[in-house]
Each structure stands twice: as C-alpha cells, then as structure tokens.
Amino acid sequence: MKLATGSLDKAGVIARIKSEAAVAIIRTDSIERALGAANSVIAGGFRVIEITYSFDGATEAIAKLVDANENDLLVGAGTILNRRQAHDAVGAGARFLVSPCVLPEVIDAAGELQVAIIPGAFTPTEIYTAHSLGANIVKIFPAVRFGPEYLKAVRGPLPHISIMPTSGVDASNVAEWFRAGAVAVGAVSSVLDPALIQNGDWTELTKRARHFMDAVRAAR
C-alpha cells in the first residue's frame, strides 16, 4: 500500500482531518467518475477524500484511489449504512467512515475495525447520542437549513463535541462556519457539482476546489 497515512492510528486520522480542515465528498455513479472527481479536487488542494457508497463500485474506487496515491491522501468512505459496507470500505483502505445518520451498528463496526467514525446528526439530541456512542467527529447534516448560527447555538451546551458541517458550506461562508466552532468542513455540491462530474468537467472542478481550499486556509 502506497498510502503514507496508512500507518496513522485512529487518533492520528482524526488529527489529520482537523488539521486539513476540509473533506471532499464525492457522490457519483461510477468508478471512473469517482476517480476523475477525486483527481480533480486533489489537483485543487484537497488531501482528505471521501468516496460515498452511492454506486456499486465504491469499494473498488476506494481501493484504486488508495493504491494509486502519491499525494499523502487520507481516504475515507461515506454513506456507510451497515456493518458489511464498513468492513468492505476498511478492507479497501478507507481510514475513516461517514454515515448520514446515527447508526449504532456502523459506529460499533468502526470501533471494532479501529477506524475513525463520523456519523451524521442534526438535533442536539442526535448529536449528543452520536458522541455518546463513540463518534469521533459528528457531521451536522444537512447543514444547509440553518447555517453557522445553528452550529454556534449547539456548541453552547455541547462545546466538547467535535462537529463538521456538510451541505451548505461554500467558499463564501466557510469562515463563518469555523468561527462558529467547526473543526472541519465537508465540501459537497458547491465544489463537486453533480453536473460537472457527470460531464467530466475536471478543469472546472479543480478550479472550484482550489477556490474552496484557499478560503479554508484564509479562515484558519
């Protein structure tokens, strides 16, 4: 395995996500498009990549990205809904798992596999439940509805929980999310526009990724 981050333990993976502060979330329908999008955002500066289980070849796409890596990437798997997917993803080289909701089965599997787990949650009850079950970072999803002010309000009583917003984060508001207390942010359609991926417009994806990462660096 070429992945330099393959030697990181779970704590190291979590620290790396917080240090990089941005995760590119790739949701598409084929191995070719997933890898094309990944390579495009890598060229734009992303070093943490999440391949979602939104297509049958997600496991293979993760394995190919890990195997071909020459950029010290941290590769994870998203939309993990059950134990089997968790095992498949980690077997392919994923170092962190992300789910769209609080799924004890997936959180338990991540613990057994000794990889970082980032479940999705929205309400304070869901966020605290995810944390109490073993979440390393909690993903506010969807974050598009109420924006950074919602995160700021949640962190008032729950300052000890690491939170990463996704959906609703873009270059124009990323600084607000960090000021509200986000430990990292997820880039979805603002960078990885589904139409651009479908059309293979890799140059525009790289341009958007670079713009987003410039905003992240400026905000940190």
Question: Tokens in use for 202?
Answer: 């890799």
Active site residue 139: yes
| Residues recorded for the chain | 220
Q: Which of 2, 20, 32, 139 is catalytic?
A: 139
Say how far apart CA 202 and CA 150 lie, in whole Å: 33
State the DSSP H helix or E strand holding residue 35, giving kind and residue range, or none if neither.
helix 31-43
Q: Which of 10, 20, 32, 50 is catalytic?
A: 50
With H, G, I as helix, E, B as strand and everything else as coil, classify residue 43: helix
DSSP designation for 160: T
Strand runs (DSSP E) across the chain, as ranges?
22-26, 48-52, 74-78, 96-99, 116-121, 138-140, 163-165, 185-187
Q: At which residue do the structure tokens 């190919």 appear?
A: 64
Residues contacting 214, CB < 8 A, separation 6+? 45, 171
Q: At which residue do the structure tokens 């010290």 appear?
A: 72
Say how far apart CA 11 and CA 58 lie, in whole Å: 25
Count each helix (H run) and each strand (E run) in the chain, helices first. Answer: 10, 8
Q: Which residues are catalytic?
A: 50, 139
